[in-house]
Amino acid sequence: MRLEPLALILLLPGLAVAQVPPPPMETTPRAEVAAPEAGLGEGTPLAQGFDAPLTRGPALGVPALGNSALMPMGQGFPFNATSPPADLTTRRFTVTPSIAAQLLATDNVQQTATGARSEWITTLTPGLMMAVDTRRIQGLLNYTPAVQLFGSDPSRPQVLQRFNGQFLATIVPDAIFIDVRGAAATQSATGGYAPQTTPTLGRDGLVQTIAYQIAPYWMHRFGDLATVQAGYAFQSVQQSLVGGGPALSTTTPPSGFANDHFTANAIYGVARTGPRFGPLGLEARVLSTDYDGTGVLQNAYRRSATLEGRYFITRRIALLAEGGYEMQRYSGSPRFELNEAVWSVGGRMALSPESGFTLRYVHRGGFSSPAFDSVFALGGRTRIFASYSERLTTGAQRAADFLSLTTLDALGNPVDGLTGAPAAQPFADSFLGAQGSLLRIRRASATITQTWPRDVFALTLASERQLPVAIAAGAIAYEQRGNSATFTWSHALTPATTAIAALQYGRLERQGQPSGDVYGGTVSLVTQLAPGLSAYAQYVLSNRGERYGGGRAIQNTVVIGLRQSF
């Protein structure tokens, strides 16, 4: 097995593709993927990407991108995930267990400007990858919890939960389905670390997020006239500090995070016209979600009813218009309540089956803003992803919405359901600080990747701004923004060995504090020693400005590890 397309996942930061979200339960069932036209066999996939009808994404468990080298850092092989079997695509059910052992040494475990303390951290990572593709169930689970033992206090191990999973079960063919999704990851509470990474820290200061959703639904197709779908979704998100210690100290910026959780019950209905209407498409949606949670999500709700129209001027160009009404309520100070019309206008252009963009101007959440999603394939080796969005949400809601907007590649990494772009988990990013209040979030990002037989290059630019709207009782909320750039180069030295290098720079601003920056680099070497057995070594340099305590915090980290898949 070649490591070249897999090894880049160690470092390649993903593109967080944000968009005006559909209802959280919309998922393309297997019955939708089968082409209805005569002459095509059962299960023949419809066009995907920008040749596909609007709102249709890849089926669960189906890679949206053919080259896994474009996938983001996160659950990828070999640091914290299992490698899939070589015959994964030809087997209907696979279970691949694994075990990894890692030794980490750092000279500044808390990344502070003064009082640096060295630390040894031993990490044991059992892994389980399960993939299933049968007529009744399709999906993928990649579960890789990490058990950390600190040299300064080995008697108190720390467990970090990490997984991505999505499954679709067909209860009654072409009628009743159950969609199950979940994810877990950690991030810094205070922020200020390299983008899209979980920094090397001590026991305190990390936020653990665990999110899952169970959504049974019914769908029926009225020939080529229309398709209707109705269902229920149960959501749960828990965000809590890891280690039981404080989220801040006298040498770090104050955190806007307090333990947060919610459960939500959503009911929805969707009706969509079919091919009989020719170039005109209409879609009506009704959604009602009630939250039972802490902070601003106590007795909160989201409710909306919309009608969207799409007119295809040509096969590749569509005009878009939407109108409707929404009601939202959140607790906190000031209490937020919204009852008003929503609308959007825009267009969509498919330049090729793999390239296109959607541009809208949207009024939702009490404000108007543009929304943009795009993917461009140039010359077979180059891909460009770009997006912009503004949303009214909380950190916990953002985790739940992320589940519904993404599907998984063959390694369990999330990718955007519309564009196929690598999708970075917002609850695994330690660049900005975690906040539990109601926020207006503006995010823009662009990634360009180029793939050669032995080399893969990637450049990612990202910008995010968070504006508090309602503050949870007893919490701290602040405006913050960050701009970052990351360059990654992966080079296959041999069919079994790959070297990866990455450079990162980010600049942060936080209300009431001086601006700060962080930059650093990583060099890694990954090699396959035997079938199923891999070894890796990594050196990481981080240099960040201590905006709260003054000075610069420099951290050197060395990592070595082994992973065995069975």
- In the numeric block, the tokens 């019955």 are attached to 31
pTM for the complete prediction? 0.82
Both structure tokens of 327: 């009601």
Mean pLDDT score of the chain: 80
> Where does the pLDDT of residue 505 fall: very low under 50, low under 70, confident under 90, or very high at 90 and above?
very high
Provide the 3-class DSSP secondary structure of residue 402: helix
Please name the amino acid found at residue 469: V
Number of C-alpha atoms within 13 angstroms, CB side, residue 228?
6
Q: Is the alpha carbon torsion for 392, 397, 398, 400 positive or negative? A: negative
Environment class of residue 38 by beta-carbon count within 10 Å: exposed (0-12), middle (13-18) or buried (19+)? exposed
**Number of domain units in the chain:** 1
Residue 477's CB is within 10 A of a number of other CB atoms, namely 22
Residue 204, Cβ neighbours under 10 Å: how many? 17
147-201 pLDDT per residue, tens:
999 998 888 899 999 999 999 999 999 899 999 999 999 998 888 888 777 788 8
Cis peptide before 13 (omega within 30 of 0): no
Q: What is the pLDDT of residue 392?
A: 95
Instruction: Evaluate if residue 421 carries a pLDDT over 90.
Output: no
Q: Provide the 3-class DSSP secondary structure of residue 295.
A: helix
Looking at per-residue pLDDT, the higher value among 203 and 128 belongs to: 128
Spatial neighbors of 357 by CB under 8 A, at least 6 apart, are 348, 349, 351, 372, 373, 374, 375, 376, 386
- Return the CATH number at 424: 2.40.170
What is the domain range of residue 16?
4-565
The residue count of the chain comes to 566
Pick the more confident residue, 415 or 181. 181
- Rounded-to-integer distance, Cα 268 and Cα 232, Å: 7
**Cβ pair 17, 387 in contact under 8 A:** yes
CB 231 within 8 A of CB 217: yes
By three-state DSSP, how is residue 366 classified?
A: coil
Which helix (H) or strand (E) segment holds residue 175: the answer is none
pLDDT tens digits for 284-295? Answer: 999 999 999 999
Return the bridge partners of 364, or none: 367
What's the pLDDT score for residue 112? 86
